[in-house]
């Protein structure tokens, strides 16, 4: 995926956890970012106040030792502390932003699923329905159902780790949805044609065949 070194790492358990708690995780990150922003504002204000303090000149004769030097040391340590806090808070914002981007991308990958795979993952992990209930409603035997579930999770991970951009993933879902709808439409038309042929054949048989002759 783009910027892979800074991306949120995922496996099957991470995927399931994000799908189960997508909204809560997004809200939590949002609140954490707001809190950190407030802390940064406070630290920046401290830095401004420190800059307004009169500078301590240790070069003045007789001022390089004793209490004056101790005060200068404390002042320098406090300056270093403020700079460290700013750097650490900035790093925390970057880490949270990476997680937020990863959660968003992963959810887009989930939404790119179509058909039975989408229904299985959506009902089990997003809606939190019982596994047995979803399996029963699918009409699939346990082996096939489990294969579909595992494959869907794997598809999400592979798409997440791909080089596709988020926009391309969104477009992929649109293409998949269009293909699925087109396929379903074709299937319905085929079924309608088949039923019409059956009706026509019965009529022909009833009339002695299309030409009045039973063949």
**Main-chain dihedrals φ then ψ at residue 139, nearest 5 degrees:** 80, 5
Nearest-CA neighbor of 22 among 156, 168, 127?
127
pLDDT of amino acid 7:
81
Domain boundaries, the chain: 4-164, 167-215
pLDDT of amino acid 189:
57
How far is CA 80 from each of CA 67, 85, 87, rounded to the nearest angstrom?
20, 9, 11
pLDDT of amino acid 92:
94
DSSP letter at 60 equals S
Q: Give CA–CA dist 177/20, Å, rounded.
A: 23
- pTM for the predicted model, two decimal places: 0.69
How far is CA 184 from each of CA 116, 137, 149, 191, 195, rounded to the nearest angstrom?
13, 19, 22, 11, 17
How would you write the pLDDT of the chain (215 residues) with one tens digit per residue?
A: 665 556 889 999 999 999 999 999 999 999 999 999 999 888 888 777 766 666 655 555 445 555 666 677 777 787 788 888 889 999 999 999 999 999 999 999 999 999 999 999 999 999 999 999 999 999 999 999 999 999 999 999 999 999 999 999 999 877 666 555 555 555 555 555 554 554 545 454 455 544 444 33
Q: Give CA–CA dist 134/121, Å, rounded.
A: 10
Q: Please check whether residue 126 is in contact with residue 20, taking contact to mean a CB–CB distance below 8 angstroms.
A: yes
């Amino acid at each position: 995926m783009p910027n892979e070194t800074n991306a949120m790492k995922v496996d099957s358990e991470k995927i399931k956890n994000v799908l189960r708690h997508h909204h809560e995780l997004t809200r939590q990150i949002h609140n954490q970012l707001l809190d950190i922003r407030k802390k940064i504002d406070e630290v920046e204000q401290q830095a401004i106040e420190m800059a307004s303090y009169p500078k301590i000149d240790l070069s003045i004769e007789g001022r390089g030792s004793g209490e004056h030097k101790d005060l200068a040391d404390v002042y320098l340590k406090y300056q270093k502390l403020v700079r460290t806090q700013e750097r650490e808070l900035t790093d925390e914002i970057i880490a949270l932003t990476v997680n937020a981007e990863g959660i968003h991308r992963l959810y887009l990958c989930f939404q790119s699923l179509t058909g039975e795979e989408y229904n299985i993952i959506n009902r089990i992990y997003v809606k939190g329905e019982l596994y047995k209930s979803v399996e029963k409603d699918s009409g699939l035997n346990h082996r096939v159902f489990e294969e579909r579930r595992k494959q869907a999770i794997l598809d999400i991970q592979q798409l997440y780790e791909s080089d596709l951009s988020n926009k391309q993933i969104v477009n992929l879902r649109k293409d998949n949805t269009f293909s699925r709808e087109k396929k379903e439409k074709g299937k319905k038309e085929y079924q309608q044609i088949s039923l019409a042929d059956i009706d026509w054949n019965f009529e022909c048989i009833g009339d002695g065949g299309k030409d009045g002759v039973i063949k």
